[in-house]
Amino acid sequence: MIKNRVNTSILNQKKLFVNVWLNAFLSLFVGSLSFSQVSYDNCGQALEICPNVNFSINNIAATKTLCANCDDNFSFCFTPNNTVWLKFISNSLGGNAQIDFSNLVFESNANQGNEIQATLIESLAPCDATTYSVLGNCVTNATTNFSINAILLPSTVYYLVINGAKNGAGITKAAEVSMDVVLSGVGVNRINPSLAIFGQDSLCQNYVATFEANSLNCPDSSAFQWFINGELVAVTSGIMFQTSALKNNDVLSVSNSCFLQCPVLQNFISPPIFVETFSVNAGEDKFIIPGETVILDGSSDVDTFYWSPITYMTNNKILNPVVNPEFTTSYFLTGEKNGCLLSDETVVTVDLLLKITNSFTPNEDGYNDTWEIPALIQYPNCLVQIFNRWGQMVFTSIGYNEKKAWNGKINGKLADASVFYYSIDLRNGDDKIIKGSVSLIK
């Protein structure tokens, strides 16, 4: 079993800025810069924040929604002027939470307020003001750093609404401010995810090994990226990974990310994997003609090995046996070490000369009763067709051997003595068709 060793890092763990680009244009009527609204200007587009990460936000050019039961249709704590909305989800346990506001920088335009207001809302129905209730302390008219504290229910969505005040004589424009917001506390802290690889740490050479990524406490998991010696070799949507490419002392690793918001990157690196490695070589392919023998050139660095098949072979337990197959044969040399098997193949090609006899005597005397072409056994996909003198096909076969040879019968009845014509397509990549005649003699 590969033991767990986890490297987990939070993207931009020290500080993750949510960049809100302010598109400014020169107002010909006002003569000052006017800023576009931020995307989280209403409850339905609330910016989701995650614990222990700094978010830089602002309410510059924010508005309020005016309609019955809309998100800004409330009057507790403060009267909405230009609200922005954040949201978060408590963890499965719930408990204390704190939201810290810092680095407040107010816009300083003429007749503009310089006080910020904020409160935490629990909503029975998303963004429906008739279901709101205030949670924790309500902050009004803040000009410096402040905090909101609350006790959260488990697995619940909460909204944080932030508003610029419009208080004081001569103030006609609500306060606009940029600030940093950090959410923390046991009610929102996330359980650190973990990642490990389960699988064999001792393998056989060329063996297809299966590994499993074990990812815990990882919501919204991304695909898994698999690496061998730091090189990406596969990406899987599931936890399973198979490979036969591992070599001795290779290092396997896997990575993924958890959480869509403020993702956590995980990486697990295995110890070096032991792969039982040895060599088996069946040697070069051989070519013979019928009746010849040949010595196989096997080699291996293990003491236990054998050849298969054993037909037409003198001894299958030596590296260099003598073989004399009647037809083309593949021989396999297999080595064994510590329960691991490794095989290599060599082919002995029997070059049967393509001699086609021009007559046969199907008189059932046991001699020359079929039209035999032994060399066609080398071409198992060959097409053989026989025609009578009028061009009618009387026999056809795909592949031609002793069992498939024509016995002179047409539709189950022995044909009269005559001359027949054949067409043979070897189907070996050569377009040449072999044609000729054969005499049926009685």
Q: What is the largest CA-CA distance in the chain?
A: 130
Q: Looking at residue 168, what is its pLDDT?
A: 85
Share of the chain above pLDDT 70, in %: 92
Complete domains list, the chain, with CATH: 37-184 (2.60.120.380), 194-276 (2.60.40.10), 280-350 (2.60.40.10), 359-440 (2.60.40)
Write down the residue that tokens 């082919």 correspond to.
Answer: 347
Give me the chain's average pLDDT, please.
Answer: 88
pLDDT category at 13 given cuts 50, 70, 90 is very low
> Which residues are CB-neighbours of 277 under 8 A, at least 6 positions away?
205, 247, 248
Could you give the CA distance from residue 74 to residue 178 in angstroms, rounded to a whole number? 24
Range 114-141 burial, b when 16+ CB lie within 10 A, else e: bbbbbbbbbbeeebebeebeebbeebee
Q: Looking at residue 131, what is its pLDDT?
A: 92
Could you give the CA distance from residue 417 to residue 422 in angstroms, rounded to a whole number? 16
Distance, C-alpha 53 to centroid of its chain? 30
Could you give the CA distance from residue 438 to residue 396 in angstroms, rounded to a whole number? 15
CB 193 within 8 A of CB 218: yes
Q: Which residues pair with 234 in a beta bridge?
A: 226
pLDDT tens per residue across span 288-323: 988 899 999 999 999 999 999 999 999 999 999 999
Q: Is 130 helix (H, G, I), strand (E, B) or coil?
A: helix
Whether the per-residue pLDDT at 176 is higher than 90: the answer is yes
Could you give the CA distance from residue 285 to residue 267 in angstroms, rounded to a whole number? 47
Relative to beta strand 274-276, strand 202-204 is parallel
Range 242-277 burial, b when 16+ CB lie within 10 A, else e: ebeebeeebebbbbbbbbeebbbbbbbbbeebebeb
What single-letter DSSP state applies at residue 13?
S
pTM for the complete prediction?
A: 0.60
DSSP string, 333-344: EEEEETTEEEEE
CB 71 within 8 A of CB 134: no
How many residues does this entry show for the chain? Answer: 442
CA 392 → CA 1, 400, 437, 442, distances in Å? Answer: 70, 20, 14, 21
Q: Is 406 helix (H, G, I), strand (E, B) or coil?
A: strand
Q: Looking at residue 397, what is its pLDDT?
A: 97
Q: Looking at residue 37, what is its pLDDT?
A: 64
Range 5-16 burial, b when 16+ CB lie within 10 A, else e: eeeeebeeeeeb
pLDDT tens per residue across span 395-428: 999 999 999 999 999 999 999 999 999 999 999 8
- Sheet with 286-288: list strands edge to edge: 286-288, 340-350, 329-337, 304-308
Share of the chain above pLDDT 90, in %: 75
Q: Which residues pair with 151 in a beta bridge?
A: 96
Handedness of CA 49, 52, 57, 62 (dihedral sign): positive
Could you give the CA distance from residue 334 to residue 344 in angstroms, rounded to a whole number? 7
> Which residues are CB-neighbours of 375 under 8 A, at least 6 positions away?
352, 353, 354, 355
pLDDT tens per residue across span 111-169: 999 999 999 999 999 999 999 999 989 999 999 999 999 999 999 999 999 999 998 88
Distance, C-alpha 78 to centroid of its chain? 51
Q: Looking at residue 260, what is its pLDDT?
A: 85
Helix (H), strand (E), coil (C) string for 369-395: CCECCHHHHHCCCCEEEEECCCCCEEE
Distance, C-alpha 291 to centroid of its chain? 54
Phi, psi of 203 (to 5 degrees): -130, 165
Q: Is 431 left (phi over 0), alpha (psi -120 to 50) or beta?
A: alpha
pLDDT category at 191 given cuts 50, 70, 90 is confident
- C-beta atoms surrounding 378 within 10 Å: 16
Q: What is the CA radius of gyration of the chain?
A: 42
Kind plus residue range of the DSSP H or E element containing 146: strand 146-152
Of 100, 105, 129, 117, the residue nearest 174 (C-alpha) = 117
Whether the per-residue pLDDT at 285 is higher than 70: the answer is yes
pLDDT category at 368 given cuts 50, 70, 90 is very high
